[in-house]
Amino acid sequence: MTIARTLLLGACLVLAAACGSDGGGGGGDAGTPNKVLVFSRTTGFRHPSIEPGVDAIRKLGDENGFAVDHTEDAAAFTSGNLAQYRAVVFLSTTGNPLDGDDERVAFEEFIRAGGGFVGIHAASDQNETSQTEWPWFGRLVGAYFGGHPLFTARPTGDASCQFQTITSCHDGVALIEDEDHPSTAHLAQASDASPPRWDVYDEFYGFATNPRGTVHVLATLDESTYLGLPGQLSAAGVMGEDHPIAWCQDFDGGRAFYTALGHDTMLYANDAYLKHVLGGILWATGAVRGDCG
């Protein structure tokens, strides 16, 4: 990334609303307030990191010029209500969080009108009913959760990853594939390696299908950094050489960003991770550019 481009991105991060010509969602018209909705309804597993995640996204909004509303009420998904937002963040939603036809249609219309979607971690964890009834959401998020490995507990691990003596989180390395996208540029700049490496501690999802080919992959996991080591209890979530972990796509008239990282509560106090999420939100709102086609 050039210095000029870095400065421009910096200015965009400060003046989030000023850098996108195609505006945001709810329509992309200039009149749409710079506001995002965080949705965290769970009908399956509930992550302890949801509450810290909501607080962290509110803080990102305060510091970067966008307002944040939070709800766990699917009834918030009406065309009239969604029109005030540029993006909707599904923060570790699980199961079948948007189970009404009217709510689903309202959300599809929001995306088709140029709105943004940000999926974090369990947003890909949809139950069979959702997968069967609403395949559109599966295409929006890019892939469904497939599984994750388990390990013997790390004494210093955070409680949000632990089940008695085992943990779902591990130290690992993500390889940055897009060094320019606003969600990954800072990670590329922080590494001297090629491809750039991001050391991260979290629960590492694998997916039922590899989304490459339908999405623009931003980062992959180097499975050799966390699989096959002493202490690994389960091989769930293995994808092999090509293991996308964050991606984006221009989808059905709108923009969709997804990162599988975000299980561990500690990530919501981790600067590198929060900039990753911030870049995804700003891109999804249309505030900053990124090549996701």
Residue window 233-272: x/- pattern of binding to Zn ion, with contact defined by CB under 5 A: ------------------------------x---------
Question: Residue 180 CB, nearest distance to Zn ion (Å)?
Answer: 29
Question: Residue 96 CB, nearest distance to Zn ion (Å)?
Answer: 17
Complex with Zn ion: residue 53 or 115, whichever CB lies closer: 53
Q: How many residues bind Zn ion (CB under 5 A)?
A: 2
**203 lies in the site for Zn ion, by CB under 5 A:** yes
Question: Residue 115 CB, nearest distance to Zn ion (Å)?
Answer: 26
State phi, psi for 222 to the nearest 5 degrees: -90, 95
Complex with Zn ion: residue 19 or 261, whichever CB lies closer: 261
- Direct distance between the N- and C-terminal alpha carbons of the chain, in angstroms, rounded to an integer: 19
Angle (CA) 275-38-268 rounded to 5° is 35
**170 lies in the site for Zn ion, by CB under 5 A:** no
Question: Residue 290 CB, nearest distance to Zn ion (Å)?
Answer: 26
3 state SS for 28-83: CCCCCCCEEEEECCECCCCCCCHHHHHHHHHHHHHHHCCEEEEECCHHHCCHHHHC
Helices and strands (H and E) in the chain: how many:
8, 15
Complex with Zn ion: residue 203 or 223, whichever CB lies closer: 203
Complex with Zn ion: residue 70 or 263, whichever CB lies closer: 263
Residue 228: CB partners within 8 Å, gap ≥ 6?
none
Sites of contact with Zn ion (CB under 5 A):
203, 263
